[in-house]
Amino acid sequence: MEEKLFVDRPLVIDTEDLAATPREWLAERADVRSVGVDDPGFPVLLAQADALVIRTYTQIDAALLDAAPNLKVIGRAGVGLDNLDLPACAARDVTVCYTPEANAGTVTELVFGLLLDVLRPRPKLTQAIDADTWVRRRSELMGTRELGGLAVGVWGFGRVGRRVARVGRAFGMRVRYHDLLDIPADRREGAEPADRDALLAQSDVVTLHVDGRDSNRGLVGVAELAALRKDAILVNAARGFIVDPAALAAWLRTHPDAHAICDVHDPEPLPVKHPLLGVPNALLVPHLGAATRPAKDRMGWVVEDVWRVLEGEAPRWPAPAH
């Protein structure tokens, strides 16, 4: 393993393919190394590192922190913080910063794109077809429902949940939300509050946007699924661990008119025997919620807060206290 290239600059490890422009900006100020945690040279660099920039799959726990005695700051290029042991970071005076505003619109786009995939299937024409096939295909692909007029229940009314409510109303959906907090009327985006049971029982679409706190693990299980309408659409673009996949698979198999849309999973990637694989009314996608170049760039600018901390300043977006 080579020594530090710039002994007068702080060492920053980028563990998960930081966007090019933010990386270049940081590299003008620091010694930036792109090294995954499974790289044989990672432990040597970690022992010297002043900062880490991570994304979704780098797990920050007490053992890693103990191996990084010089670490001052971790920049999470993204929103979810459930891959970091925040109390362990705080106990070691390691500042954590993130990009909570980076991808709310990006996730919202995906939610409605996937909803339209379920409600309005639209395969591409790749060859000429005769008149009879044309008529038959149009009949076979006729949607039975439209977004307009459906009741959507938004479970979790943070940045993404509020954006989903706003777009849902633009489609003419009737929007309700459920959240742990009392949301001021001027921040409800025209949505009506509802308790959990009413949200589940009265929504055509239930879309999950809760955070990654431990109490949300297994939030949706057998009882919650049983409360849904028999033709409900359940969307999870939040965290994989909030839904019990075995319970969801069983519910879908006994409710053929229902659908589940899952962008996030537990674990990722999906193992061969994951219970939702092969379930015909489950639409599974590989964690694409923030998968656009603009969103990746916005998340990558966490490097500005990383540099602020290295310069002895407070970050603009510190992780919430735990």
**CB contact at 8 A, 304 and 316:** yes
* Identified catalytic residue from 229, 287, 304, 308: 287
- Residue 233, Cβ density class (10 Å: 0-12 exposed, 13-18 middle, ≥19 buried): buried
Catalytic residue among 24, 101, 146, 268: 268
Annotation says 224 is catalytic: no
What's the rounded Cα separation, in Å, for the pair 45 and 98?
A: 22
Give catalytic status of residue 287 as yes or no.
yes
Q: How far apart are CA 65 and CA 62, in angstroms?
A: 5
Q: Specify the pairing of strand 282-284 against strand 151-155.
A: unpaired
Instruction: List residues bridging with 14 in a β-sheet.
Output: 34, 53
Distance CA 228, CA 205 (A): 9
Cβ atoms of residues 203 and 176 within 8 Å = yes
Distances (CA, A) of 22 to 27, 177, 297, 308: 9, 36, 7, 14
Of how many residues is the chain composed? 322
Question: Is 253 in contact with 277 (CB distance < 8 Å)?
Answer: no
Asked about 209 being catalytic, the answer comes back as: no
Which of 178, 188, 239, 259 is flagged as catalytic? 239
Write the burial class of residue 127 (CB in 10 Å: 0-12 exposed, 13-18 middle, 19+ buried).
exposed
User: Catalytic residues, which ones?
Assistant: 239, 268, 287
